[in-house]
């Protein structure tokens, strides 16, 4: 059995291997729906966006060199670096709470979780830049909780407020950090309620939210009106609740998920304890209320399992604390199995995306490939190359006028069309449709020359995202030609079709969705 005195090197090796694997994987997988959509945040800097606060756009702006270096690697590099920083914070938190061994165990769990290790740690999502701030806030709270000298340290409190504020500039649900910490204070540290540093810290977080508030005032709080319309509350929906739990089971890694809830059960049964009782209470306060809230929402409305993802992070330390009390073991077998499961999933998924000759969704000719997740990550770059050749030939033959634009009616596939098709060609992409479908593309329209009377346009419809082009665009063009069909081939099979429509002579200019 291997024992080590210091776990710093193993953690650094873990982080280094993670970075290397992700850098090798990044160029193999084309950008997904969300990733290419968040690219549009970089195209139009703003204080806030229709869907989320601006941090994910700022992150991409830094790592793509202000958009100059636009590739799968550059866009994902910020997420990869953020995951590395977060893993280090996890190690430091475990060391602070108990020992380096506990920090090492927690770092393994963080890497083995599909949500923290890969979804937020590889793909471009608002969760990606949030993770270093979320884990950093937990680390600062740990100092305040365990080190008496820090309770009256203005710098520590001010830093906490700033870090939570920056986390909220990634996703507003970072305010749960204050909710959980506030509950802990009420239960264990009520004397802090008379500490002015606590309130100044909270004020700093509020000041960080000013850009979000400012943008929403300018835009009639359109973000919250849109999201409130999604909350239907039509009665208890057991299906959506089960989907949430199953989603958490999958996103957290089935092995990690089971370890987490077994450790919660054992802790509740007093099978193990931390050196200070307040540690366990703090971990539960920073996790369970957030989980219970999302479970409650899932009982009445559809949810997405990554929304509750950060709530599991404190529970990794419960698992680590449970294993730490056992016989010293450098790398417990169950942790190896959890990492092996992640590696196997990544390997199978990558092979499927790159080489599967069949799609895993609809086989119907009207919606061929619908609901196949691998199609989000493949075929778009080749489409851009084929479309570029097609446009040049159409202009040469006189079938289409020079200066034609590309149009979309939804943010997906709009994001892919923007990044892989329109951007390399320098062709403007214009959104025509409803605001709830276009999202950020409605604001991009303001930055681009509007459709002109008499102008030609193209529409690209993937078979997995069927659209009645005549209904959607017929009111705006005199003629819509029969589409040309391009094949997406993979592994010797056809997995999707792209229908290319020529829309000729704009006869009506779409009304702007925002002013």
What's the pLDDT at 26? 97
Quickly list H helices, 147-253: 154-168, 176-188, 196-208, 210-218, 222-230, 238-251
Give the CA angle between residues 349, 355, 360 to the nearest 5°.
60
In sign, the C-alpha dihedral spanning 194, 198, 203, 209 is negative
The confidence band for 229, taking pLDDT boundaries of 50, 70 and 90, is: low
What's the pLDDT at 1? 47
CB 60 within 8 A of CB 75: yes
What's the pLDDT at 11? 98
Q: Which residue has the tokens 């792209």?
A: 498
What percent of the chain is modeled with pLDDT above 70? 98
Residue 286: DSSP 8-state: T
User: Does pLDDT of 75 surpass 80?
Assistant: yes
What's the pLDDT at 232? 57
Work out the angle between the directed axes of helices 100-112 and 313-324 (0-180°, nearest 10): 130
User: Does pLDDT of 318 surpass 60?
Assistant: yes
User: Does pLDDT of 225 surpass 90?
Assistant: no
> In whole angstroms, what is the distance from residue 116 CA to residue 338 CA?
13
Who has greater pLDDT, 226 or 293?
293
The confidence band for 43, taking pLDDT boundaries of 50, 70 and 90, is: very high
DSSP H/E element including 485? strand 484-490
Give the pLDDT mean for 216-227. Answer: 83
What residue ranges in 321-418 does DSSP mark as E strands? Answer: 405-408
Q: Lowest-pLDDT range, 25-39, 232-246, 442-456, 465-479?
A: 232-246
Task: Give CA 4 to chain center in angstroms.
Answer: 36
Task: Give CA 333 to chain center in angstroms.
Answer: 30
What's the pLDDT at 3? 60
Give which of 15, 229, 6 is closest to 108, Cα–Cα: 15
Residue 510: DSSP 8-state: P
Residue 379: DSSP 8-state: S
Give the pLDDT mean for 128-157. Answer: 96
Three-state DSSP class for residue 153 = coil
Q: Lowest-pLDDT range, 6-15, 28-37, 233-242, 305-314?
A: 233-242
CB 339 within 8 A of CB 163: no
Residue 196: DSSP 8-state: H
Query: Phi-psi category of 449—alpha, beta or left, where left has phi over 0 and alpha has psi -120 to 50?
Result: beta
Enter the tokens of residue 69. 């270096």
What's the pLDDT at 231? 56
What's the pLDDT at 112? 98
CB 512 within 8 A of CB 473: no
Who has greater pLDDT, 436 or 1?
436
Give which of 50, 51, 45 is closest to 59, Cα–Cα: 45
CB 123 within 8 A of CB 82: no
Q: Can you list the pairs that 196-201 forms with residues at least 24 positions away whose Cβ atoms lie under 8 Å?
A: 197/152, 197/153, 197/154, 197/157, 197/158, 198/157, 200/154, 200/157, 200/158, 200/161, 201/157, 201/158, 201/160, 201/161
Mean pLDDT of the chain: 95
Give the pLDDT mean for 470-487. Answer: 97
What percent of the chain is modeled with pLDDT above 90? 92
Half-sphere exposure of 367 (CA within 13 A, CB side): 10
What's the pLDDT at 479? 97
Give the pLDDT mean for 225-249. Answer: 80
User: Does pLDDT of 2 surpass 80?
Assistant: no
Strand pairing partners for 493? Answer: 490
User: Does pLDDT of 226 surpass 90?
Assistant: no
User: Does pLDDT of 500 surpass 80?
Assistant: yes
> In whole angstroms, what is the distance from residue 282 CA to residue 138 CA?
10
> In whole angstroms, what is the distance from residue 252 CA to residue 256 CA?
6
CB 215 within 8 A of CB 48: yes
Q: Lowest-pLDDT range, 55-64, 320-329, 351-360?
A: 320-329
CB 141 within 8 A of CB 189: no
Overall residue count recorded for the chain in this entry: 515
Give which of 37, 65, 31 is closest to 52, Cα–Cα: 37
Q: Which residue has the tokens 């006869």?
A: 507
């Amino acid at each position: 059995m291997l024992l080590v005195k210091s776990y710093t090197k193993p953690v650094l090796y873990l982080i280094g291997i993670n970075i290397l694997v992700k850098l090798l994987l990044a160029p193999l997988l084309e950008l997904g729906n969300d990733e290419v959509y968040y690219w549009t945040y970089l195209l139009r800097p703003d204080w806030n966006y229709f869907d989320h606060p601006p941090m994910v756009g700022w992150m991409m702006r830094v790592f793509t060199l202000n958009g100059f270096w636009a590739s799968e690697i550059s866009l994902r590099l910020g997420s990869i670096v953020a995951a590395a920083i977060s893993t280090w914070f996890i190690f430091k938190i475990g060391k602070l709470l108990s020992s380096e061994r506990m920090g090492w165990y927690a770092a393994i769990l963080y890497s083995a979780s599909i949500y923290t290790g890969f979804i937020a740690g590889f793909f471009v999502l608002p969760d990606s830049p949030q993770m270093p701030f979320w884990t950093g806030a937990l680390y600062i709270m740990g100092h305040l909780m365990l080190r008496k000298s820090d309770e009256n340290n203005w710098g520590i409190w001010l830093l906490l407020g700033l870090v939570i504020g920056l986390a909220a500039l990634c996703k507003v649900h970072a305010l749960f950090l204050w909710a959980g910490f506030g509950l802990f204070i009420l239960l264990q540290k009520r004397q802090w309620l008379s500490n002015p540093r606590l309130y100044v810290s909270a004020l700093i977080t509020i000041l960080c939210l000013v850009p979000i508030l400012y943008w929403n005032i300018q835009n009639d709080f359109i973000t919250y009106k849109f999201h409130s319309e999604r909350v239907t509350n039509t009665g208890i929906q057991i299906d959506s609740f089960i989907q949430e739990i199953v989603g958490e089971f999958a996103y957290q890694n089935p092995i990690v998920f089971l370890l987490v809830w077994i450790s919660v059960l054992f802790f509740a049964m007093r099978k193990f304890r931390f050196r200070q009782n307040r540690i366990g209470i703090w971990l539960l306060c920073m996790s369970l209320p957030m989980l219970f809230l999302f479970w409650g929402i899932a009982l009445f409305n559809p949810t997405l399992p990554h929304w509750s993802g950060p709530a599991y992070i404190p529970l990794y330390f419960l698992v680590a604390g449970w294993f730490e009390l056992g016989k010293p073991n450098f790398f417990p077998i169950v942790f190896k199995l959890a990492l092996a499961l992640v590696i196997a999933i990544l390997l199978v998924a990558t092979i499927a995306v790159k080489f599967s000759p069949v799609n895993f969704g609809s086989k119907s000719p009207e919606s061929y490939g619908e609901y196949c997740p691998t199609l989000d990550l493949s075929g778009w770059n080749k489409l851009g190359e084929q479309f570029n050749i097609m446009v040049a030939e159409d202009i040469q033959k006189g079938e289409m006028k020079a200066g034609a634009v590309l149009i979309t009616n939804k943010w997906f596939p709009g994001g892919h069309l923007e990044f892989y098709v329109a951007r390399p060609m320098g062709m403007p992409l214009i959104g025509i449709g409803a605001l709830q479908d276009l999202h950020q593309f409605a604001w991009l329209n303001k930055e681009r020359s509007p459709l002109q009377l008499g102008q030609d346009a193209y529409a690209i419809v993937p078979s997995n995202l069927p659209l009645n082009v005549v209904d959607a665009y017929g009111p705006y063009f005199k003629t819509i030609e029969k589409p040309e069909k391009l094949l997406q081939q993979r592994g010797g099979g056809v997995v999707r079709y792209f229908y290319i429509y020529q829309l000729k002579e704009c006869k009506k200019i779409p009304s702007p969705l925002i002013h």
